[in-house]
Amino acid sequence: MPIVKKKTLFALIKAAIQDKDKTAFQEAIQDVKPGRFVVESWHECLRMVLEPDFEDDDVPFYVKGLLRLGGDENDAQRLLLLNDEIDRLGKFEGYPEDYRDEEIGDLPKRIIAETLALYPALAWTGAADTGRTLFHRAAESGTSIAIEVIGEFIRNHREPAAIRDTVRIRDTANNQTALVIAVRGNHLNAVEALMRLDPDQLDESNPGSQIDIENAVEEGRLGILRILLNNRPRLVTSGFFERALDDKKLDILQYLIDLAPGFLTNPRANFLITAVKKGQVLVVKLLIEKFPSLTSVYEKEEQSGSTSRTHYILAFNSDKWLVQPLYKQQRLCCYRCICLKICLRLVDFGPLSEWLFVTRRGRDLKSVNNSLS
pLDDT in tens, 245-288: 999 999 999 999 999 999 988 767 788 888 888 889 899 889 98
% of the chain at pLDDT higher than 70: 75
- Residue 216's contacts (CB-CB under 8 Å, 6 or more residues apart) are 183, 224, 225, 228
The pLDDT tens digits for 111-144 are 999 999 999 999 999 888 889 999 999 999 999 9
φ, ψ at 344 (rounded to 5°):
-115, 135
Q: What's the predicted TM-score (pTM) here? A: 0.75
Look at residue 242 in the predicted model and tell me its pLDDT.
92
pLDDT band at 187 (very low <50, low <70, confident <90, very high): very high
Q: Indicate the pLDDT class of residue 73, thresholds 50, 70 and 90.
A: confident
pLDDT over 90 at 222, yes or no: yes
Residue 94 pLDDT level (bands cut at 50, 70, 90): confident
Query: What tens digit of pLDDT does each residue of 340-355 get?
Result: 233 333 322 233 333 3
Nearest to 142 by CA among 95, 84, 182: 182
In Å, how far are 201, 218, 355 from 236, measured between CA atoms? Answer: 15, 14, 31
> What is the Cα–Cα distance from 178 to 171, expressed in whole angstroms?
9
Residue 70 banded pLDDT, cuts 50, 70, 90: confident
CB 357 within 8 A of CB 334: yes
Mean pLDDT of the chain: 78
